[in-house]
Protein backbone atom coordinates (compact mmCIF):
# COMPACT_ATOMS: atom_id res chain seq x y z
CA UNK A 1 0.00 0.00 0.00
CA UNK A 2 1.33 3.39 -0.92
CA UNK A 3 0.44 6.50 1.01
CA UNK A 4 1.54 9.94 -0.11
CA UNK A 5 1.08 12.91 2.20
CA UNK A 6 1.75 16.42 1.00
CA UNK A 7 2.43 18.96 3.74
CA UNK A 8 2.69 22.64 2.81
CA UNK A 9 4.01 25.02 5.47
CA UNK A 10 4.55 28.76 5.15
CA UNK A 11 7.33 29.87 7.51
CA UNK A 12 6.30 32.88 9.56
CA UNK A 13 9.86 33.74 10.66
CA UNK A 14 12.45 35.65 8.64
CA UNK A 15 13.07 39.19 7.63
CA UNK A 16 10.37 41.52 6.30
CA UNK A 17 10.22 42.31 2.61
CA UNK A 18 9.79 45.91 1.61
CA UNK A 19 6.47 46.70 -0.04
CA UNK A 20 8.29 48.21 -3.01
CA UNK A 21 10.58 45.28 -3.79
CA UNK A 22 8.38 42.29 -3.06
CA UNK A 23 4.75 43.22 -2.40
CA UNK A 24 2.34 40.57 -1.22
CA UNK A 25 -0.02 38.82 -3.61
CA UNK A 26 -3.32 40.60 -4.11
CA UNK A 27 -6.13 38.03 -3.82
CA UNK A 28 -9.77 38.26 -4.84
CA UNK A 29 -11.75 35.45 -3.18
CA UNK A 30 -14.98 34.50 -4.98
CA UNK A 31 -16.49 31.94 -2.62
CA UNK A 32 -19.92 32.13 -1.02
CA UNK A 33 -19.39 29.17 1.32
CA UNK A 34 -15.83 29.73 2.56
CA UNK A 35 -14.90 30.75 6.08
CA UNK A 36 -13.41 34.07 4.98
CA UNK A 37 -12.54 35.09 8.53
CA UNK A 38 -10.42 31.97 9.02
CA UNK A 39 -8.73 32.38 5.63
CA UNK A 40 -7.89 36.04 6.24
CA UNK A 41 -6.52 35.29 9.71
CA UNK A 42 -4.28 32.42 8.61
CA UNK A 43 -3.22 33.02 5.01
CA UNK A 44 0.03 35.00 5.07
CA UNK A 45 1.89 37.01 2.41
CA UNK A 46 -1.35 38.08 0.69
CA UNK A 47 -3.59 41.11 0.54
CA UNK A 48 -7.32 40.61 -0.02
CA UNK A 49 -8.95 43.10 -2.39
CA UNK A 50 -12.64 43.88 -2.89
CA UNK A 51 -12.46 44.37 -6.65
CA UNK A 52 -11.16 41.61 -8.91
CA UNK A 53 -9.70 44.20 -11.30
CA UNK A 54 -6.97 44.94 -8.75
CA UNK A 55 -6.18 41.30 -7.98
CA UNK A 56 -3.05 39.41 -8.97
CA UNK A 57 -4.95 36.13 -8.51
CA UNK A 58 -8.69 35.44 -8.67
CA UNK A 59 -9.90 32.38 -6.77
CA UNK A 60 -13.23 31.19 -8.15
CA UNK A 61 -14.96 28.33 -6.33
CA UNK A 62 -17.51 25.96 -7.84
CA UNK A 63 -19.19 23.00 -6.14
CA UNK A 64 -21.33 20.04 -7.10
CA UNK A 65 -22.78 17.36 -4.86
CA UNK A 66 -20.96 14.05 -5.16
CA UNK A 67 -22.22 10.50 -4.80
CA UNK A 68 -21.57 10.29 -1.05
CA UNK A 69 -23.84 13.26 -0.36
CA UNK A 70 -20.88 15.58 0.26
CA UNK A 71 -19.35 18.08 -2.21
CA UNK A 72 -16.75 18.12 -4.94
CA UNK A 73 -14.94 21.46 -5.06
CA UNK A 74 -13.23 23.07 -8.02
CA UNK A 75 -10.98 26.06 -7.41
CA UNK A 76 -9.98 27.99 -10.52
CA UNK A 77 -6.87 30.15 -10.08
CA UNK A 78 -6.71 32.97 -12.63
CA UNK A 79 -3.56 35.08 -12.71
CA UNK A 80 -3.69 38.73 -13.78
CA UNK A 81 -1.22 41.55 -14.38
CA UNK A 82 2.29 40.11 -13.90
CA UNK A 83 0.84 36.65 -13.25
CA UNK A 84 -1.45 36.24 -16.26
CA UNK A 85 0.63 33.34 -17.63
CA UNK A 86 -0.19 31.26 -14.53
CA UNK A 87 -3.60 29.61 -14.74
CA UNK A 88 -4.44 26.60 -12.62
CA UNK A 89 -7.27 24.47 -11.28
CA UNK A 90 -7.58 22.13 -8.29
CA UNK A 91 -10.37 19.60 -7.72
CA UNK A 92 -10.98 17.84 -4.41
CA UNK A 93 -13.87 16.21 -2.58
CA UNK A 94 -15.16 16.11 0.96
CA UNK A 95 -16.81 13.18 2.73
CA UNK A 96 -20.36 13.14 4.04
CA UNK A 97 -19.08 12.68 7.62
CA UNK A 98 -16.62 15.60 7.52
CA UNK A 99 -17.16 18.25 10.16
CA UNK A 100 -17.26 21.95 9.25
CA UNK A 101 -13.72 22.33 10.63
CA UNK A 102 -12.42 19.47 8.47
CA UNK A 103 -14.04 20.96 5.36
CA UNK A 104 -12.61 24.38 6.23
CA UNK A 105 -9.10 22.94 6.68
CA UNK A 106 -9.32 21.03 3.39
CA UNK A 107 -10.36 24.19 1.54
CA UNK A 108 -7.53 26.14 3.18
CA UNK A 109 -4.96 23.47 2.31
CA UNK A 110 -5.95 23.51 -1.37
CA UNK A 111 -5.89 27.31 -1.50
CA UNK A 112 -2.27 27.23 -0.31
CA UNK A 113 -1.37 24.48 -2.78
CA UNK A 114 -2.83 26.45 -5.67
CA UNK A 115 -0.95 29.62 -4.72
CA UNK A 116 2.53 28.02 -4.69
CA UNK A 117 3.43 29.03 -8.26
CA UNK A 118 2.23 32.59 -7.64
CA UNK A 119 4.24 32.88 -4.41
CA UNK A 120 7.36 31.63 -6.22
CA UNK A 121 6.96 34.25 -8.95
CA UNK A 122 6.27 36.78 -6.20
CA UNK A 123 9.71 36.03 -4.69
CA UNK A 124 8.56 34.14 -1.63
CA UNK A 125 10.24 30.84 -2.48
CA UNK A 126 12.46 31.01 0.60
CA UNK A 127 9.28 31.21 2.70
CA UNK A 128 7.86 27.95 1.35
CA UNK A 129 8.65 24.45 2.55
CA UNK A 130 7.28 21.39 0.76
CA UNK A 131 7.67 17.99 2.37
CA UNK A 132 6.66 14.72 0.68
CA UNK A 133 6.58 11.55 2.71
CA UNK A 134 6.24 8.05 1.29
CA UNK A 135 5.30 4.90 3.11
CA UNK A 136 5.45 1.65 1.18
CA UNK A 137 4.34 -1.63 2.68
CA UNK A 138 3.66 -4.40 0.21
CA UNK A 139 2.33 -4.16 -3.34
CA UNK A 140 0.05 -1.35 -4.40
CA UNK A 141 -3.55 -2.49 -4.56
CA UNK A 142 -6.70 -0.75 -5.63
CA UNK A 143 -8.77 0.32 -2.65
CA UNK A 144 -11.94 -1.73 -2.35
CA UNK A 145 -15.25 -0.10 -1.50
CA UNK A 146 -17.24 -2.54 0.67
CA UNK A 147 -20.41 -0.52 0.04
CA UNK A 148 -19.94 -0.44 -3.76
CA UNK A 149 -20.77 3.30 -3.76
CA UNK A 150 -24.14 2.80 -2.03
CA UNK A 151 -24.97 5.55 0.48
CA UNK A 152 -27.72 5.31 3.11
CA UNK A 153 -29.20 8.10 5.19
CA UNK A 154 -31.79 8.08 7.98
CA UNK A 155 -33.12 11.33 9.38
CA UNK A 156 -35.56 12.72 11.89
CA UNK A 157 -36.19 16.39 12.49
CA UNK A 158 -38.82 18.55 14.09
CA UNK A 159 -39.65 21.77 15.82
CA UNK A 160 -41.95 22.72 18.67
CA UNK A 161 -43.09 26.27 19.35
CA UNK A 162 -45.63 27.66 21.76
CA UNK A 163 -47.04 30.67 23.50
CA UNK A 164 -50.11 31.28 25.63
CA UNK A 165 -52.59 31.28 22.74
CA UNK A 166 -50.96 28.99 20.16
CA UNK A 167 -48.79 25.92 19.72
CA UNK A 168 -47.01 24.55 16.66
CA UNK A 169 -45.29 21.22 16.19
CA UNK A 170 -43.78 19.53 13.18
CA UNK A 171 -42.12 16.13 12.95
CA UNK A 172 -40.52 14.55 9.87
CA UNK A 173 -38.89 11.20 9.17
CA UNK A 174 -36.86 10.42 6.07
CA UNK A 175 -34.82 7.57 4.61
CA UNK A 176 -32.62 7.79 1.52
CA UNK A 177 -30.74 5.20 -0.53
CA UNK A 178 -28.59 6.23 -3.48
CA UNK A 179 -25.75 5.10 -5.69
CA UNK A 180 -23.93 7.50 -8.01
CA UNK A 181 -21.41 6.38 -10.64
CA UNK A 182 -20.25 7.83 -13.96
CA UNK A 183 -22.75 5.65 -15.82
CA UNK A 184 -25.70 5.52 -13.47
CA UNK A 185 -27.46 7.59 -10.80
CA UNK A 186 -30.00 5.82 -8.59
CA UNK A 187 -32.01 7.58 -5.89
CA UNK A 188 -34.74 6.36 -3.53
CA UNK A 189 -36.21 8.58 -0.82
CA UNK A 190 -39.13 8.10 1.58
CA UNK A 191 -40.46 10.91 3.72
CA UNK A 192 -43.22 11.21 6.34
CA UNK A 193 -44.28 14.62 7.63
CA UNK A 194 -46.82 15.46 10.34
CA UNK A 195 -47.62 18.99 11.49
CA UNK A 196 -50.14 20.30 13.99
CA UNK A 197 -51.12 23.79 15.06
CA UNK A 198 -53.42 24.70 17.95
CA UNK A 199 -54.90 28.21 18.31
CA UNK A 200 -56.83 29.19 21.42
CA UNK A 201 -59.45 31.90 21.05
CA UNK A 202 -62.12 32.73 23.63
CA UNK A 203 -61.31 29.47 25.48
CA UNK A 204 -61.91 27.45 22.30
CA UNK A 205 -59.13 25.41 20.66
CA UNK A 206 -58.91 25.53 16.86
CA UNK A 207 -56.75 22.66 15.58
CA UNK A 208 -55.06 22.45 12.17
CA UNK A 209 -53.38 19.24 11.02
CA UNK A 210 -51.43 18.30 7.92
CA UNK A 211 -50.04 14.92 6.99
CA UNK A 212 -48.07 13.84 3.96
CA UNK A 213 -46.15 10.76 2.89
CA UNK A 214 -44.19 10.29 -0.31
CA UNK A 215 -41.70 7.91 -1.87
CA UNK A 216 -39.60 9.09 -4.82
CA UNK A 217 -37.46 6.87 -7.01
CA UNK A 218 -35.44 7.74 -10.06
CA UNK A 219 -32.78 6.03 -12.10
CA UNK A 220 -30.68 7.92 -14.66
CA UNK A 221 -28.35 6.30 -17.20
CA UNK A 222 -25.56 8.20 -19.00
CA UNK A 223 -25.43 7.51 -22.74
CA UNK A 224 -22.54 9.80 -23.67
CA UNK A 225 -21.14 13.24 -22.80
CA UNK A 226 -24.37 14.96 -23.96
CA UNK A 227 -27.27 12.48 -23.71
CA UNK A 228 -28.88 10.70 -20.76
CA UNK A 229 -32.14 8.84 -20.13
CA UNK A 230 -34.03 8.16 -16.95
CA UNK A 231 -37.18 6.95 -15.26
CA UNK A 232 -38.98 8.75 -12.43
CA UNK A 233 -41.59 7.21 -10.10
CA UNK A 234 -43.54 8.66 -7.17
CA UNK A 235 -46.17 7.39 -4.73
CA UNK A 236 -47.69 9.18 -1.77
CA UNK A 237 -50.61 10.91 -0.09
CA UNK A 238 -51.30 14.43 1.21
CA UNK A 239 -54.17 15.92 3.21
CA UNK A 240 -53.29 19.45 2.06
CA UNK A 241 -53.34 18.50 -1.64
CA UNK A 242 -56.49 16.32 -1.32
CA UNK A 243 -54.75 13.05 -2.19
CA UNK A 244 -55.64 9.86 -0.35
CA UNK A 245 -53.17 8.19 -2.74
CA UNK A 246 -51.24 9.21 -5.85
CA UNK A 247 -48.63 7.56 -8.04
CA UNK A 248 -46.80 8.37 -11.24
CA UNK A 249 -44.23 6.85 -13.57
CA UNK A 250 -42.46 8.96 -16.20
CA UNK A 251 -39.59 7.99 -18.54
CA UNK A 252 -37.42 10.95 -19.59
CA UNK A 253 -34.60 12.00 -21.89
CA UNK A 254 -32.14 14.88 -21.48
CA UNK A 255 -29.64 16.61 -23.76
CA UNK A 256 -26.86 18.91 -22.54
CA UNK A 257 -25.62 21.35 -25.19
CA UNK A 258 -22.29 21.44 -23.36
CA UNK A 259 -20.33 18.42 -22.18
CA UNK A 260 -21.37 17.12 -18.76
CA UNK A 261 -17.72 17.34 -17.65
CA UNK A 262 -18.06 21.15 -17.78
CA UNK A 263 -21.21 21.15 -15.64
CA UNK A 264 -19.57 23.02 -12.76
CA UNK A 265 -18.88 25.98 -15.10
CA UNK A 266 -21.82 25.96 -17.49
CA UNK A 267 -24.86 23.94 -18.43
CA UNK A 268 -27.68 24.25 -20.93
CA UNK A 269 -30.02 21.28 -20.87
CA UNK A 270 -33.34 20.39 -22.43
CA UNK A 271 -35.36 17.45 -21.14
CA UNK A 272 -38.68 15.80 -21.88
CA UNK A 273 -40.82 13.59 -19.61
CA UNK A 274 -43.98 11.67 -20.37
CA UNK A 275 -45.93 9.17 -18.32
CA UNK A 276 -49.04 8.14 -16.42
CA UNK A 277 -50.52 9.38 -13.13
CA UNK A 278 -53.02 7.64 -10.87
CA UNK A 279 -54.86 9.95 -8.45
CA UNK A 280 -57.23 8.85 -5.67
CA UNK A 281 -58.77 11.88 -3.97
CA UNK A 282 -59.77 12.30 -0.33
CA UNK A 283 -62.76 14.38 -1.45
CA UNK A 284 -64.50 14.83 -4.78
CA UNK A 285 -62.68 17.36 -6.92
CA UNK A 286 -63.95 20.42 -8.77
CA UNK A 287 -64.27 18.06 -11.78
CA UNK A 288 -66.43 15.69 -9.68
CA UNK A 289 -63.75 12.99 -9.66
CA UNK A 290 -63.01 10.58 -6.85
CA UNK A 291 -60.17 8.92 -8.72
CA UNK A 292 -58.71 9.02 -12.22
CA UNK A 293 -55.79 7.93 -14.41
CA UNK A 294 -54.15 10.59 -16.59
CA UNK A 295 -51.29 10.96 -19.03
CA UNK A 296 -48.98 13.94 -18.53
CA UNK A 297 -45.89 15.28 -20.30
CA UNK A 298 -43.46 18.11 -19.69
CA UNK A 299 -40.60 20.01 -21.34
CA UNK A 300 -37.83 21.76 -19.43
CA UNK A 301 -35.07 24.11 -20.60
CA UNK A 302 -32.53 25.23 -18.04
CA UNK A 303 -29.04 26.62 -17.86
CA UNK A 304 -26.38 27.96 -15.52
CA UNK A 305 -23.12 29.86 -15.89
CA UNK A 306 -20.58 30.65 -13.18
CA UNK A 307 -17.65 32.86 -14.14
CA UNK A 308 -15.48 35.53 -12.54
CA UNK A 309 -18.02 38.27 -13.32
CA UNK A 310 -20.81 36.44 -11.48
CA UNK A 311 -23.33 33.68 -12.04
CA UNK A 312 -26.67 33.11 -13.74
CA UNK A 313 -29.18 30.28 -13.39
CA UNK A 314 -32.44 30.12 -15.31
CA UNK A 315 -35.14 27.61 -16.14
CA UNK A 316 -38.34 27.48 -18.15
CA UNK A 317 -40.70 24.52 -17.90
CA UNK A 318 -44.05 23.47 -19.33
CA UNK A 319 -46.26 20.55 -18.42
CA UNK A 320 -49.80 19.57 -19.36
CA UNK A 321 -52.22 16.66 -19.42
CA UNK A 322 -52.51 14.93 -22.76
CA UNK A 323 -56.31 14.64 -22.69
CA UNK A 324 -56.71 18.43 -22.30
CA UNK A 325 -53.83 20.76 -23.14
CA UNK A 326 -55.66 23.65 -21.45
CA UNK A 327 -54.81 21.99 -18.13
CA UNK A 328 -51.19 23.11 -18.04
CA UNK A 329 -48.53 24.88 -16.04
CA UNK A 330 -45.76 27.26 -17.11
CA UNK A 331 -42.93 27.94 -14.68
CA UNK A 332 -40.07 30.41 -14.92
CA UNK A 333 -37.00 30.80 -12.74
CA UNK A 334 -34.15 33.31 -12.87
CA UNK A 335 -31.30 33.86 -10.47
CA UNK A 336 -28.25 36.01 -11.09
CA UNK A 337 -25.55 37.94 -9.29
CA UNK A 338 -23.03 39.90 -11.32
CA UNK A 339 -20.76 42.89 -11.03
CA UNK A 340 -21.74 45.86 -13.16
CA UNK A 341 -18.63 47.92 -12.42
CA UNK A 342 -16.18 48.56 -9.60
CA UNK A 343 -17.97 48.19 -6.29
CA UNK A 344 -21.44 47.86 -7.87
CA UNK A 345 -23.20 44.51 -8.12
CA UNK A 346 -26.74 43.48 -9.06
CA UNK A 347 -28.71 40.44 -7.96
CA UNK A 348 -32.14 39.10 -8.75
CA UNK A 349 -33.82 35.76 -8.15
CA UNK A 350 -37.37 34.68 -8.57
CA UNK A 351 -39.93 32.08 -9.58
CA UNK A 352 -43.22 32.59 -11.37
CA UNK A 353 -45.74 29.89 -12.26
CA UNK A 354 -48.99 30.03 -14.20
CA UNK A 355 -51.05 27.18 -12.74
CA UNK A 356 -54.00 26.01 -14.81
CA UNK A 357 -53.65 22.32 -13.90
CA UNK A 358 -55.03 22.12 -10.35
CA UNK A 359 -57.29 19.15 -10.98
CA UNK A 360 -56.88 17.91 -7.39
CA UNK A 361 -58.77 20.76 -5.66
CA UNK A 362 -61.66 19.77 -3.42
CA UNK A 363 -65.05 20.46 -5.03
CA UNK A 364 -66.79 21.81 -1.96
CA UNK A 365 -66.54 25.33 -0.57
CA UNK A 366 -63.80 25.54 2.03
CA UNK A 367 -64.53 27.00 5.43
CA UNK A 368 -62.95 30.22 6.62
CA UNK A 369 -61.02 28.18 9.17
CA UNK A 370 -59.56 25.92 6.48
CA UNK A 371 -58.57 28.92 4.37
CA UNK A 372 -56.91 30.88 7.18
CA UNK A 373 -55.11 27.83 8.57
CA UNK A 374 -54.14 26.61 5.08
CA UNK A 375 -55.47 23.14 5.72
CA UNK A 376 -56.47 22.71 2.06
CA UNK A 377 -54.98 23.88 -1.19
CA UNK A 378 -57.08 26.57 -2.90
CA UNK A 379 -57.36 27.59 -6.54
CA UNK A 380 -54.75 30.07 -7.71
CA UNK A 381 -54.00 30.99 -11.31
CA UNK A 382 -50.41 31.91 -10.46
CA UNK A 383 -47.79 32.07 -7.74
CA UNK A 384 -44.53 33.97 -7.56
CA UNK A 385 -41.50 34.87 -5.51
CA UNK A 386 -39.10 37.68 -6.42
CA UNK A 387 -36.02 39.04 -4.67
CA UNK A 388 -33.79 41.75 -6.15
CA UNK A 389 -31.24 44.32 -5.08
CA UNK A 390 -28.22 46.48 -5.84
CA UNK A 391 -25.10 46.69 -3.72
CA UNK A 392 -22.45 49.38 -3.89
CA UNK A 393 -19.30 49.57 -1.79
CA UNK A 394 -16.42 52.03 -1.88
CA UNK A 395 -13.35 52.93 0.11
CA UNK A 396 -10.11 51.05 0.64
CA UNK A 397 -9.70 48.01 -1.59
CA UNK A 398 -7.18 46.52 0.87
CA UNK A 399 -8.23 45.22 4.25
CA UNK A 400 -7.17 41.84 5.60
CA UNK A 401 -7.73 42.76 9.25
CA UNK A 402 -10.25 40.60 11.10
CA UNK A 403 -11.81 42.00 14.28
CA UNK A 404 -14.64 39.78 15.59
CA UNK A 405 -15.61 41.95 18.59
CA UNK A 406 -19.40 42.24 18.88
CA UNK A 407 -19.51 40.56 15.44
CA UNK A 408 -21.11 43.41 13.45
**What pLDDT is attached to residue 14?**
35
- Section 67-80 average pLDDT: 86
Contacts of 127 (CB under 8 A, 6+ apart): 10, 11, 14, 45, 119
Pairing of strands 291-307, 46-48: unpaired
pLDDT over 70 at 249, yes or no: yes
DSSP calls for 113-180: HHTHHHHHHTT-GGGEEEEEEEEE-S---PPP-TTTTEEEEEEEEEEEEEETTEEEEEEEEEEEEEEE
pLDDT over 50 at 15, yes or no: no
pLDDT over 50 at 2, yes or no: no
**Sign of the torsion formed by the C-alpha atoms of 292, 295, 301 and 306:** positive
Q: Are 264 and 92 in contact (CB under 8 A)?
A: no
pLDDT over 50 at 234, yes or no: yes
The confidence band for 4, taking pLDDT boundaries of 50, 70 and 90, is very low
pLDDT over 90 at 358, yes or no: no
pLDDT over 50 at 12, yes or no: no
The confidence band for 134, taking pLDDT boundaries of 50, 70 and 90, is low
- Whether the model clears a pTM of 0.95, i.e. scores above it, the answer is no
Element (H, E) at 112: helix 100-114
pLDDT over 50 at 239, yes or no: yes
- Section 277-297 average pLDDT: 94
- Section 315-330 average pLDDT: 94
pLDDT over 50 at 31, yes or no: yes
Query: What proportion of the chain, given as a percentage, has pLDDT over 90?
Result: 42
pLDDT over 70 at 204, yes or no: yes
Largest distance between two CA atoms of the chain: 85
Q: Closest Cα partner for 322 from 300, 296, 299, 298?
A: 296
Query: What proportion of the chain, given as a percentage, has pLDDT over 70?
Result: 87
**What pLDDT is attached to residue 143?**
64
- Section 173-182 average pLDDT: 91
- Section 272-295 average pLDDT: 94
- Section 311-320 average pLDDT: 94
pLDDT over 60 at 173, yes or no: yes
What are the structural domains of the chain? 2-137 (3.40.50), 150-392 (2.40.160)
Q: What is the mean pLDDT of the chain?
A: 84
Judge residue 32's burial from the number of C-beta atoms within 10 Å of its C-beta, 0-12 exposed, 13-18 middle, 19 or more buried.
exposed
Amino acid sequence: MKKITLLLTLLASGYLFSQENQPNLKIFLNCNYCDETYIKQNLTFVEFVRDQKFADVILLFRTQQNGSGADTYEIEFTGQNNYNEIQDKLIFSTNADNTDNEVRDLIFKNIKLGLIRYWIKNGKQDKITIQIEKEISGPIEDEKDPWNKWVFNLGIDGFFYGQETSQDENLSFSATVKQVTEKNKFYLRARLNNSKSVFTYDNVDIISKRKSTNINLYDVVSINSHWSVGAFATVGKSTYNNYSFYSSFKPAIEYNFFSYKDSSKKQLTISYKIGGIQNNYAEKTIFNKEKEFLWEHGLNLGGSVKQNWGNITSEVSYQSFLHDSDLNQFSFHLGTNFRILKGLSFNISGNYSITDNQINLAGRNLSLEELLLRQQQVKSGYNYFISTGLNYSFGSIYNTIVNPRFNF
